[in-house]
């Protein structure tokens, strides 16, 4: 059984409790981060905590813990759960109060919960095979840059993809791809340029995205940060997605159109390898 952390205590998972009035469940009034663990070390930890602070600030959500405390809890959960490969999930909600659309006063304490999840990240059958993607309308709210727990639409389209025999969904806004259900989206054009949507409120500013673009620059690959169309995606030489737990994940099909040779492309494979090596080496 896992040891989890909730509101100041480490407890067995079946003893962890939060209030039925928690605004995370009533309003989706909560933010989260997922940090990967490789070899028992936290991957891209600083990036995730910087984004957490930004999400909290955007929602005027008070923080229940200092930077030092959050790092200590992450490490303690890794240790107590003997976690070598997987992830630590962190969620902060605005706390429990009588149901009201107005935010509660300063006496209401935010809820902090964290738990580990074991998962094989490096050896991924999906990354070896390559993902099949369906395209769906991007019907999310327009602050996708804030990492809130409002994940219902992402969950619906992921299920839609599975029901259609595919692996994931990429979302389309005004004819252009925004991002995947839980990842950033990339194509490689005929001339070998990596294209991914530029940062705005339309997408989550992926921590993996930032590092993978750095890896691409170090490999002297050409990168363009701009929106790309559905037609460009279907005609791409290669495609892939990135996220904290999937790293770089090749795409072999988009809405029925075979991408490249219908198998993971060399650029995606190389970036996956280089990213995993460098993030492992920098783990804390
Ligand atoms: N976009 C969305 C919508 C996501 O949910 C995620 C994963 N949290 C990402 C992009 C990738 O972000 P990161 O690389 O920080 O995991």
Same domain, 107 and 134: no
Same domain, 254 and 135: yes
147 as an active site residue: the answer is: yes
pLDDT in tens, 161-206: 999 999 999 999 999 999 999 999 999 999 999 999 999 999 999 9
Q: Looking at residue 45, what is its pLDDT?
A: 98
Same domain, 132 and 262: yes
Pick the closest to residue 155 from 184, 126, 119, 181 (CA basis). Answer: 181
Q: Looking at residue 260, what is its pLDDT?
A: 87
Residue 161: domain span? 125-282
User: What are the phi and psi torsion angles at 170 (to 5°)?
Assistant: -105, 145
Same domain, 33 and 109: yes
Single residue among 84, 118, 152 that ends a domain in this structure: 118
pLDDT in tens, 110-167: 999 999 999 999 999 999 999 999 999 999 999 999 999 999 999 999 999 999 999 9
Q: Looking at residue 73, what is its pLDDT?
A: 98
178 lines ligand 1 (CB under 6 A): no
Closest Cα to atom 8, ligand 1: which residue? 182
Same domain, 87 and 209: no
Same domain, 143 and 195: yes
pTM of structure: 0.97
Same domain, 153 and 46: no
242 lines ligand 1 (CB under 6 A): yes
pLDDT in tens, 225-272: 999 999 999 999 999 999 999 999 999 999 999 998 999 999 999 999
Give the position, in ligand 1's atom list, of the atom nearest the Cα of 207. 15
The domain total for the chain is 2
179 lines ligand 1 (CB under 6 A): yes
Same domain, 19 and 88: yes
């Amino acid at each position: 059984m896992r040891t989890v952390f909730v509101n100041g205590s480490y407890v067995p998972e079946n003893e962890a409790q939060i209030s039925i009035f928690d605004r995370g469940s009533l309003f989706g009034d909560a933010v989260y981060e997922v940090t990967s663990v490789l070899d028992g070390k936290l991957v891209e930890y600083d990036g995730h905590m910087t984004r957490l602070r930004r999400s909290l600030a955007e929602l005027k959500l008070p923080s229940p813990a200092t930077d030092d405390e959050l790092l200590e809890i992450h490490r303690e959960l890794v240790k107590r759960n003997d976690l070598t490969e997987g992830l630590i999930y962190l969620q902060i909600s605005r706390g429990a109060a009588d149901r009201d659309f107005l935010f509660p006063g300063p006496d209401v304490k935010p809820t902090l919960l964290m738990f580990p999840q074991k998962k094989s990240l490096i050896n991924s059958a999906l990354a070896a095979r390559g993902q099949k993607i369906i395209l769906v309308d991007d019907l999310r709210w327009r602050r996708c840059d804030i990492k809130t727990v409002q994940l219902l639409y992402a969950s619906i389209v992921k299920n839609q993809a599975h029901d259609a025999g595919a692996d994931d969904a990429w979302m389309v806004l005004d004819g252009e791809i925004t991002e995947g259900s839980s990842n950033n989206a990339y194509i490689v054009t005929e001339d070998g340029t990596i294209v991914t949507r530029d940062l705005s409120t339309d997408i989550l500013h992926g921590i993996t995205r930032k590092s993978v673009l750095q890896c691409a620059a170090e490999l002297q690959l050409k990168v363009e940060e701009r929106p790309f169309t559905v037609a460009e995606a279907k005609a791409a030489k290669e495609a892939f997605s990135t996220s904290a737990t999937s790293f770089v994940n090749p795409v072999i099909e988009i809405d029925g159109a075979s991408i490249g040779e219908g198998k993971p492309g060399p650029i995606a494979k190389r970036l996956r390898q280089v990213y995993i090596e460098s993030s492992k080496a920098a783990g804390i």
